[in-house]
Amino acid sequence: MNFNPDYLLNREFDTICQSYTEKDCILYALGVGMGLDPLDERCLRFVYEDGLKVLPSQSVIMAHPGFWAKQEDMGIDWVKVLHAGQEIIFHKPIPTSGTVEAKTRITEIADKGEKIGALIVSDRVVRDTETREEICTLITTILARGDGGFGGDRKSSTPKPDVVPAREPDEVCDLPTLAQQALIYRLSGDYNPLHASPNVARSAGFKAPILHGLCTFGVMTHALVKTCCGYDPNRFKRMRLRFSSPVYPGETIRTEIWNEGSHIAFRCKSLEQDKIVINNGYLLID
């Protein structure tokens, strides 16, 4: 099937129901690099069941619809899909176990031209199936690099990205990733072969499998929880950012942070590539 924006905007997604346990929370935290120092008791709280805490970034895998861009009826050149942006609104702390549900919908498609691709925005509201309480709202933007030039509106109605201050950051946090980081992270549900298969990665124009954008996002969240919240994940209220370049497993991610009280600006670099990998970051905390 060819790429058809009207079809995608009207496509019905199944409601995803997911039960998860403390073990799933621990696996997610290990997948984004928590527990690298097993003697650091602040990090241990995220990878050990005694007094377990949940990283706010785990919300992105809750009731996840899977790699839907690969489904044949989507008409998307899935090998060339990249995660472009993410926003999360937190309605309550994430429980350490439970059953949740959500239904994805595509809300916007913008044509950025044949050389850039199509921006596709989707959202889903994650709810506790028993209490019906909303846990979080997730707004995801992907760039379908092989599907631009279809003649659609080139402008996006999504808000303009936040801009980091034009001064040196107030704080910096460097966190390493493991060479096998993507292979661990994918066990939390994102099985896009771009992050595991060297052949698929090369066909997409990369020298090797790249780290999931949402794994980089998790490493960044660790840096923010550590630096801005004293390892209290419940202080997160809203977060948004743009992915600007991929990270290769084994690289060190530097998070640069600008503090403006409860409003925090941030961006991330790969030290090995000397390149910005996450930009226009905004975090609201209480």
Please identify which of the residues 64, 83, 195, 222 carries the catalytic annotation: 195
163: confidence class by pLDDT, cuts 50, 70, 90: confident
Q: How far apart are the first and last CA of the chain?
A: 47
Phi, psi of 2 (to 5 degrees): -75, 160
CATH number for position 87? 3.10.129.10
For 213-251, write each residue's pLDDT tens digit: 999 999 999 999 999 999 999 999 999 999 999 999 999
Q: Which residues contact 131 (CB under 8 A, 6 or more apart)?
A: none
Q: How many domains does the chain have?
A: 1
91 noted as active-site residue: no
pLDDT bucket at 162, cuts 50 / 70 / 90: confident
Q: How would you classify residue 215: left for phi > 0, otherwise alpha for psi between -120 and 50, otherwise beta?
A: alpha
| Host domain of residue 39 | 5-285
- For residue 73, indicate whether it is catalytic: no
- Residue in 190, 222, 232, 263 annotated catalytic: 190
Rounded to an integer, what distance in angstroms lies between the CA atom of residue 103 and that of residue 174? 36
Tokens coding 223: 């840096």
Question: Of 98, 82, 88, 78, which Cα lies nearest the Cα of 56?
Answer: 88
